[in-house]
Amino acid sequence: MSHPALSPEATATTIRAAVRSGAVRATAVAEAALARIQATHEKVNAFTTVTAERALQEAAAVDTAIAAGRDPGPLAGVPYSVKNLFDLAGTTTLAGSKVMSASAPATRDATAVARLKASGALCLGAVNMGEFAYDFVTENVFSGPTRNPRDLTRSAGGSSGGSAASVTAGLVPLSLGTDTNGSIRVPSSFCGIWGLKPTYGRLSRAGAFPFVASLDHIGPFARSVEDLALAYDLLQGADPLDPVCTSRAPEPATADLESLPTGLRIGLLDGYFATGGDTRVHAAAEAVAQALGAVRRIELPDAGLARSAAFLITASEGGQLHFERLRKQAADFEPIIRDRLLAGALQPAAWYLQAQRFRALWREKIHAIFRDVDVLIAPATPVPATVLGQEKMMLNGTEQLVRPNLGVFTQPLSFIGLPVVAAPTQNAVGSLPIGVQLIGAPWAEASLLRVARHLEKSGLCAAPAAVIA
Amino acid sequence: MKINDPDLIAQLTVWHDAYEKALATNDVATLSQFFWDTPHTVRFGLFEQTYGADAINEFRKASPPAFTERRIVRREICTFGSDFATIMCDAVVVVAGEPRPNRQSQSLVNIPGKGWRIVAAHVSAPLQPNPPWGPYSEYAARNLKLSIHPSHQAGVTTNLARTAAIAAPLMALNLPDAAEPAATFSA
């Protein structure tokens, strides 16, 4: 029997312990991951580039360090994937688009990748995403749809769909994604795994292809809270290459992970967040609230307007970002994305600035609510994983378009940069999982992760691997 | 001076049908035959002013019409004596699936030895109280030198209309002047 660290269920914590103790060689971990990726690729379509040579070199460096008695790093031998908008030195950064396919390879790693590498982790490659991250389903026209490992007929969510699928299928225990309007939390919910969208400005975005500068975040995916916290801690730290990245000192989450903070005030979001989804989705959020003893119900006034404002900022900044590419390569974009970006590029400035001014006011209003509460709870998506190609869904008895509406519960929160952990509840709607958002005040990630760990220990939230035969 | 000579009107009706046919197919060589071939000929389009027959031909070669269909709603031909006429058309053009009103004014002179020629023309569109997003996006794109392929125009228009509906309740808010519009902020 092979070592548990080589199995698809292995967590980063298991793997690093086995590698650091010398029980398993990092090279064997890399080889096992490469074999899993190859064996399942046709079914899942998570990876767009497998960096086998790089992973094996990084593994050899870890093995050499261990043999020489040096510290191989806190993530020694842990395989991970990155959404294909993260720069990997020597690889073309696709950002999910044919438009970028002829670009020169990146000359250096993104900051987040460099930090994982410095921790001894092994980069297995770049994974699929919705084009230019303007998406919630990862049904990419250029590289094909990524399939949900829990049900291969369904979407893995988006836009970080490849990240979530690669972790869910047990190809890797960790992945890096990005979240502008819900692109970490939607795939976490669809795939039923843990995802962290940190506070806006907490983690460096340098070397991650942008989408909406005002709203872009990066964050990790994992199958255990300990892994999520571990990755998050190693990604923290100031970075002059990202003008938005905070200079506050890192606030590690792993140290106190096992205990729930005392006197935590927890509330279930009501109103906007308690309606509009499948009733079983709202029941999942209520179950989490109950498990945490949350009795209060709290409303975020004008959440619908916050979502509208996020929509306007996204269209405008996204369209402006791609202006030159829309001029020169309009035919290479996916039609849906191109039309949205073109419309965004032409949108009146009055809409955009009104949205930004509303954001400043709304942030103050919501910060005031956090004076009386520490954690808020809401569903991550209005429905479980949609079927690939599905265009419409029933919400509250009315038929709605899938693609523009999957972010209904995530958008208002990223709009003002609040940190959120997406906590997976399994078998929430039939056999499908649903993610529940644990929402905190700015910079409260460590507390949220302790709440997440508590839910994991209680058994209510879990993210078992869905191993593809 | 005889006004609206029936023979001339019949002759100009056939003449103008041929003109419309050449326009529909953007047959530049044929279209150029309808214009007075001098530097004095002027044509004003929806977005462009062209002075002289050469400039008119150059423009046509560079910019095929965006419409997929053109229908004359009403045509008024008026003749003044045997050598001067006006043709005024109220038309509908279909651009990216969207019908739009269009107007065309032409002044014609019966040039000795050549026949009827357009000496001045002007295409215009009526201003609409609530302009649809199609003309807005075309105009904005043109000014930003962001050319939108005609086949992409309908999708852009749909998205702008959808976004306008999303923006409406936000735009209805009267925010205080002190509300900060800076794009980047700290959470």
Which of B155, B169, B184 is closest, CB to CB, to A214?
B184
Nearest by CB: A357 against B152, B167, B180: B180
Task: Give the pLDDT score at B131.
Answer: 58
Judged by phi (left if over 0) then psi (alpha if -120 to 50, else beta), residue B177 lies in alpha
Burial call A101-115: b when 16+ CB within 10 Å, e when fewer: eeeeebeebbbbbbb
Query: What b/e string do you get for A52-73 counting C-beta neighbours within 10 Å, with b at 16 or more?
Result: bebbbebbebbbebbeeeeebb
The residue whose two tokens read 């700290």 is B186
Interchain proximity A346–B175, CB inside 8 Å: no
How far is the C-alpha of A73 from the C-alpha of A118, rounded, in Å? 7
Report the sign of the C-alpha dihedral through residues A243, A246, A248, A251, in that order: negative
Chain B residues closer than 8 Å to A323 by CB: 144, 146
Q: Describe chain B by its helix, strand, coil percentages, rounded to 5.
A: 35, 30, 35
The pLDDT value recorded for residue A1 is 58
If we measure between CA atoms, which residue out of A316, A303, A311 comes closest to residue A412?
Answer: A303
Encode A445-457 in three state secondary structure: HHHHHHHHHHHHH
Chain A interface disruption, residue of B152, B159, B180, most A CBs within 10 A: B159
Q: Do A360 and B180 touch (CB under 8 A)?
A: yes
List the structure tokens of A222.
Answer: 């994992």
d(CA A307, CA A305): 5
Q: What is the ipTM of this complex?
A: 0.92
Contact A339 B184 (CB under 8 A): no
pLDDT one-digit tens code per residue, A206-256 = 999 999 999 999 999 999 999 999 999 999 999 999 999 999 999 999 999
Q: Say what the pLDDT of residue A361 is.
A: 95
A72: CB partners within 8 A, 6+ apart? A19, A20, A26, A62, A65, A66, A120
- Out of B136, B155, B187, closest to residue A339 by CB: B155
Q: What integer pLDDT is reported at residue B63 of this predicted model? A: 81
Beta bridge partner(s), residue B75: B89
* Contact call for A338 and B152, based on CB within 8 A: yes
The answer to whether residues B70 and B91 touch, using CB atoms and an 8 Å cutoff, is yes
Question: How crowded is the C-beta side of A329, counted as CA atoms within 13 Å?
Answer: 15
> How far apart, in whole angstroms, are the C-alpha atoms of residue A146 and residue A41?
10
- Report the distance separating Cα A163 and Cα A175, nearest Å: 5
E strand intervals along A85-168: 122-127, 139-140, 144-145, 147-148, 151-155
CB A259 within 8 A of CB A457: no
Q: How far is B96 from chain A (nearest CA, A)?
A: 13
Angle between helices A111-118 and A225-235 (to 10 degrees): 110
Report the residue from A213, A335, A357 with minimal CB separation from B179. A357
CB distance A354–B148 less than 8 Å? no
> Does B184 have pLDDT greater than 90?
no
- What percent of chain A has a predicted confidence (pLDDT) above 70? 100
Interface test with A, best of B152, B153, B158 (most A CBs within 10 A): B152
Torsion angles phi and psi, residue A454, rounded to 5: -60, -45
pTM for the whole structure: 0.82
Burial of B126 (0-12, 13-18, 19+ CB in 10 A): exposed
In contact, A175 and A163? CB cutoff 8 Å: yes
Mutate to test the interface with B, among A199, A342, A347 (most CBs of B within 10 A): A342
Average pLDDT over residues A165-171: 98
Residues of B with CB under 8 A from a CB of A: 136-137, 140-141, 144-149, 152, 155-160, 163, 166-167, 169-171, 173, 175-176, 179-187
Q: Using CA atoms, how far apart are residues A183 and A195, in angstroms rounded to an integer?
A: 10
Q: Is the pLDDT of residue B183 over 90?
A: no
Closest in B156, B171, B180 to A343, CB measured? B156
Chain B residues lying within 8 Å of A359, measured CB to CB = 185
Q: Which residues of A are catalytic?
A: 83, 159, 183
Inter-chain contacts counted by CB atoms under 8 A, chains A and B: 124
B53-75 pLDDT, tens digit each: 999 999 988 888 878 889 999 99
Nearest to B169 among A200, A305, A347 (CB): A305
Residue type, A366: I
What local confidence, expressed as pLDDT, does residue B96 receive? 64
Q: Taking all residues of chain A, what is their mean pLDDT, rounded to a whole number?
A: 97
In A32-116, at which residue ranges do the beta strands (DSSP E only) sit?
47-50, 79-83
Q: What are the percentages of helix, strand and coil residues in chain A, rounded to 5?
A: 40, 20, 40
Q: Which residues of A touch B173 (CB under 8 A)?
A: 305, 354, 358
In chain B, whose CA is at the least distance from the CA of A364? Answer: B187
Ranking A38-42, A371-375, B12-16, B127-131 by mean pLDDT, the lowest is B127-131
* B176 chain-A contacts, CB cut-off 8 A: 361
Task: Determine, for residues A356 and B175 on separate chains, whether the beta-carbon distance falls below 8 Å.
Answer: no
- pLDDT the model gives residue B185: 66
> Residues, chain A, total?
469
Residue B157, both tokens:
């228009």
Give how far Cα A54 sits from Cα of A124, A125, A460, Å. 7, 9, 38
Residue B130: pLDDT above 60? no
Q: How many CB atoms lie within 10 A of CB A229?
A: 29
Contact flag A343-B144 (C-beta cutoff 8 Å): no
Q: Which helix (H) or strand (E) holds B120?
A: strand B115-124
In this predicted model, which residue has the larger pLDDT, B6 or B152?
A: B6
- In chain A, the percentage of residues whose pLDDT exceeds 90 is 97
Question: For the segment A11-41, what is each residue's pLDDT rounded down to a tens digit?
Answer: 999 999 999 999 999 999 999 999 999 999 9
Judge residue A237's burial from the number of C-beta atoms within 10 Å of its C-beta, 0-12 exposed, 13-18 middle, 19 or more buried.
middle
* Greater pLDDT, A2 or A1: A2
CA–CA min distance A267, chain B (Å):
21
pLDDT reading at B127 higher than 90: no
Residue A260 · residue A450 · CB < 8 Å: yes
B155 to chain A, closest Cα gap in Å: 5
Q: Record the tokens describing residue A358, joined without a space.
A: 């509303």
**Confidence band of B166 (pLDDT split at 50, 70, 90):** very high
Q: How far apart are the C-alpha atoms of A304 and A55, rounded to whole Å?
A: 44
Residues of chain B with C-beta less than 8 angstroms from the C-beta of A346: 136-137, 140-141, 144, 146, 156, 160
* Nearest-by-CA chain A residue for B152: A339
Parallel, antiparallel or unpaired: strands A296-298 and A266-269 = parallel
Where is A235: in which H helix or E strand?
A: helix A225-235
> Three-state DSSP class for A441?
coil
